[in-house]
Amino acid sequence: MNEEFINEYLEGTAEIVENIDKEEISKFIEILFEAWKNGKKVISMGNGGSASTASHFTGDLSKTVINPSSEKEIVSYKKGFKAICLNDNPALLTAWINDCGWDKAYAGALNTLLEDGDVILLVSVHGGSGWSGNIVEAMKMARKRNAKILGLAGFDGGKLKEMADSCIVVPKDSTPHTEGFHGVLQHMIVQRLLELITEYSKNSVVERLQEISKKYDDITIKENINKIIEASS
Amino acid sequence: MIVTRAPLRLSIGGGGTDLPFYSSKFGTSLVTAAIDKYIYIILERRDFYDEYLIRYSQTEKVKDRKDIKHTRVKAAFEYLDIKEPIEITSIADVPSGTGLGSSSAYLVALLKALHTYKREHISNKKLAEEACDIEINILKEPIGKQDQYASAFGGIINLEIDKLGNVVVSPLNLSYSTLEELEQNTLMFSTGISRAASEILTEQKKQAESDEEKMKQMHIIKDIGSEIKKALEQGETRKFGQWLNVHWETKKKFGKMSSSDIDKYYETALKNGAIGGKLIGAGGGGFLLFYCEANKRQLREAISKLGLKELLFKFDTEGCKVLYEGR
């Protein structure tokens, strides 16, 4: 009874998989990886359904990239992204909207938080055109602060595609397909970052030291590991 | 008159594994860096006298070279068969017994002066090897080959030493910006403690040879030396700082290496912004080296409050050289 609809919807998704710009996704990942290496912040935001994607993305950038669900311990020297989601703080958000209007909702918060080299990550189906003036204001603030702009968008990508350092546009003019596929992209990006960060960390002092301690069967190195973490943090 | 100079050095990574008791069994690889602090040797003819004149912290006037008390001068004169009465004066930028390899630098500069006096050209390699031969084989000093090579070659170099004692020298492949960062971020302070390196080195040998766990620490120090080389060549200076910390913590496991005063200085430095550091040279005193990125002012203030003096330095790129040659 629903078969026709289901098939058609899924065919739409298959079309997206076929046509999406893979090089752009790769660029998006590189920018995030650089930010992690340099200890920069990633500040996400979105409106409506995109707000929950921004929120979910932030959680994964903060935790999953260094601690997939199979690991049960906090390892103090493993650090994820310094990730913050602006729409997760209703008090702050509504304060700015109440006093300065919808367009300033995110730019106001960024004014306090955003520093040179940080990244803002925007999720917006229409790329800030029409209703999402707060996304455009946020990008203006990012440009002022020499921060990178990343975007997940749909339709023609709007202002977001125009202004971002990297913007992945879901190639289908459909809001549910776009929002759904943002979830796919978000998880894929996080999984790749997990791989990159794990590989990169093999060359860290702590990991190399653990190798050496195994090689010589030396338990005293464990004390050193704590000292390095304290010294370099 | 002839004037020569040879640079002092910082042991950067893997120091101590050049000691014969270790390197003759396992071979080694270490990183060492010459700095712009020197031992100067002034050699003057004494055609109108019939005795040698040797000036250092003491003054010796001696007719027969076998009566010279300064062991290195005596050995060098005998090694190169210097028969005519000459005058040797030495001046040092930094006091001796402070872990910067001044004894070997003295000998290297002296040999260079004597060869120049004899109108002989000598390569850096031969100069280093002659100094090693005199110190290790003739004077029986319990030292390795790091200091002589650092002094003769200058620069920041890697020494590969095989079990037979053959040395291969290669300069570290450092970018200009890495070198600049290193010069800016490494700080040296004098502990004010002067000590004889030979005593500490003898103790280290005794501990390593009698205790397998200690010998293991020597292997680890060698591996850390390789990690330090890698970090520097990749321009990861912060990692260099972290490795210094590991290096020191490992080396400290040998008795007499540190003291409660030195531990206190070190902890103070780490609390005030240093990422890592180590005592330079054999241990027990001399200079402390720290790597610090931000808060250098805070570090300097905290350390100077403890009464320690800073030694400002840059790296040397020239090695041992003749500064003046007159006839």
Q: Is the pLDDT of residue A143 over 70?
A: yes
For residue A27, give both structure tokens: 């660029």
Mapping DSSP to helix (H, G, I), strand (E, B) and coil, where does residue B324 land? strand
Mean pLDDT throughout B216-232? 94
Q: Is the pLDDT of residue B311 over 70?
A: yes
Q: Which helix (H) or strand (E) holds B149?
A: helix B146-153
Q: Do A224 and B219 touch (CB under 8 A)?
A: no
Q: How far is CA A59 from CA A83, B40, B78, in A?
A: 8, 63, 75
Neighbours of B248 (CB within 10 A): 23
pLDDT, tens digit, 9 for 90 and up, residues B11-56: 999 988 999 999 999 999 999 999 999 999 999 999 999 999 999 9
Handedness of CA B228, B230, B233, B238 (dihedral sign): negative
Q: What is the pLDDT of residue A71?
A: 82
Q: State how beta strands B86-92 and B59-62 pair.
A: unpaired
Mapping DSSP to helix (H, G, I), strand (E, B) and coil, where does residue A226 land? helix
Q: What is the pLDDT of residue B322?
A: 98
Q: Is the pLDDT of residue A229 over 70?
A: no
C-alpha–C-alpha distance, residues A134 and A113, integer Å: 16
For residue B35, give both structure tokens: 């700095």
Amino acid (one-letter) located at B88: I
C-alpha–C-alpha distance, residues B129 and B120, integer Å: 16
C-alpha–C-alpha distance, residues B100 and B185, integer Å: 19
pLDDT, tens digit, 9 for 90 and up, residues B270-288: 999 999 999 998 778 899 9
Mean pLDDT throughout B260-272? 93
Q: Is the pLDDT of residue A223 over 80?
A: no
Q: Do B276 and A209 touch (CB under 8 A)?
A: no
B17, B213, B220: best mutation site toward chain A, by most A Cβ within 10 Å? B220
Residue A233 banded pLDDT, cuts 50, 70, 90? low
Closest CA to A79 of A41, A28, A120: A41
Q: What's the predicted TM-score (pTM) here?
A: 0.80
Residue B164 banded pLDDT, cuts 50, 70, 90? very high
Q: What is the pLDDT of residue A231?
A: 62
Q: What is the pLDDT of residue B187?
A: 97
C-alpha–C-alpha distance, residues B143 and B132, integer Å: 9
Fold annotation for B2-173+316-325: Ribosomal Protein S5; domain 2 (3.30.230)
Which candidate from B220, B246, B270 shows the least CB-CB separation from A205?
Answer: B246
Scanning A172-211 for CB atoms below 8 A from B yields: 204-205, 208-209
Q: Which helix (H) or strand (E) holds B40?
A: strand B28-45
Q: Which CATH class is domain B176-311?
A: alpha beta
- What would the DSSP string read from start to end of A196-209? HHHHHHTTSHHHHH
Residue that the structure tokens 């440009």 belong to: A143
Across B63-72, B252-261, B268-277, least confident range: B252-261
Q: State how beta strands B186-190 and B287-292 pair.
A: antiparallel
Contacts of A209 in chain B (CB under 8 A): 246
B272 touches chain A (CB under 8 A): no
Phi, psi of A5, rounded to the nearest 5 degrees: -60, -45
Distance from B189 to chain A by nearest Cα, in Å? 19
A232 vs A150, which has greater pLDDT?
A150
Q: Is the pLDDT of residue B210 over 90?
A: no
Q: What is the pLDDT of residue A134?
A: 95
* Contact between residue B258 and residue B252 where contact means Cβ atoms under 8 Å apart: yes
Which candidate from B224, B227, B270 shows the least CB-CB separation from A231?
Answer: B270
Q: Is the pLDDT of residue A44 over 60?
A: yes
Q: How far is CA B252 from CA A116, B197, B245, B284, in A?
A: 41, 15, 11, 10
Closest CA to B34 of B324, B322, B319: B319
Q: Is the pLDDT of residue A232 over 70?
A: no
C-alpha–C-alpha distance, residues A211 and A204, integer Å: 11
Q: Is the pLDDT of residue A230 over 80?
A: no
Neighbours of B109 (CB within 10 A): 31
Give me the sheet containing B186-190, strands edge to edge: B274-279, B287-292, B186-190, B309-311
C-alpha–C-alpha distance, residues A110 and B326, integer Å: 70
C-alpha–C-alpha distance, residues B149 and B151, integer Å: 5
Mean pLDDT throughout B199-203? 83
List, in sequence order, every residue forming a beta bridge with B158; answer none if it has no partner. B31, B170
Neighbours of B105 (CB within 10 A): 33
Fold match between B2-173+316-325 and B176-311?
no
Which domains are delineated in chain A?
A: 3-201 (3.40.50.10490), 204-233 (no CATH)
B317 vs B198, which has greater pLDDT?
B317
C-alpha–C-alpha distance, residues B320 and A115, integer Å: 48
Beta-carbon contacts of residue B138 (< 8 Å; ≥ 6 apart): B75, B79
Closest CA to B148 of B93, B100, B108: B108
Across A128-137, B195-204, B293-302, least confident range: B195-204
| Mean pLDDT, rounded, of chain A | 93
* Contact between residue B130 and residue B112 where contact means Cβ atoms under 8 Å apart: no
Neighbours of A177 (CB within 10 A): 19
For the CA atoms of B41, B44, B49, B53, what is the dihedral angle to 10 degrees?
Answer: -10
Distance from B216 to chain A by nearest Cα, in Å? 7
Domain ranges of chain B: 2-173+316-325, 176-311
Q: What is the pLDDT of residue A228?
A: 67
Residue that the structure tokens 């005193």 belong to: B285
Length of chain A (residues): 233
Neighbours of B327 (CB within 10 A): 6
* Contact between residue A139 and residue A128 where contact means Cβ atoms under 8 Å apart: yes
